[in-house]
Amino acid sequence: MTIRLLIVDDHDLVREGLRLMFEGTEVDVVAEAADGQEAFEKLSNQPVDVALVDLRMPRADGFRFLELVRQAGWKLPVVLMHTVDDGAKSFRRCQELGAKGLVLKGHENQLLDAVRMVHAGQTLWSGQVHPAAT
């Protein structure tokens, strides 16, 4: 089974590296965006199973992306937040907005398994973020 992935990050090099990391796996990068607004617009034309979204971006961050999807009344695609921020406040906000997981930058070796897990309906909160911290 192929997992259709949307990568959202404001850095071209990061998106390229992530795309290369998923090559040769069952994860097919079907769309990329530089911010949450662009990602939201692409969702109307491109169905995805998992969105790998950076939390901190200019114009429209990961939180805004989740809000836009929710406000549109669309079935929320499984969203995996990808961030350097490991604060409990961000963790809680991700959960409140419907994110299914969070993988910290620096833990990229977990991303393939994380995408598989959230696609299968599980949640994943990795790195230094723990539910008990909320």
Q: Span 3-133: which CATH code? A: 3.40.50.2300
**Is 117 a residue whose pLDDT tops 60?**
yes
Q: Write the pLDDT tens digit of every residue in 3-42.
A: 999 999 999 999 999 999 999 999 999 999 999 999 999 9
Residue 54, classified by CB atoms within 10 Å of its CB into exposed (0-12), middle (13-18) or buried (19+), is buried
Residue recorded with tokens 């995805």: 48
> How many other CB atoms sit within 10 Å of the CB of residue 5?
25
Q: What is the three-class DSSP state of 5?
A: strand
pTM exceeds 0.85: yes
pLDDT for the residue numbered 134: 38
Domain boundaries, the chain: 3-133
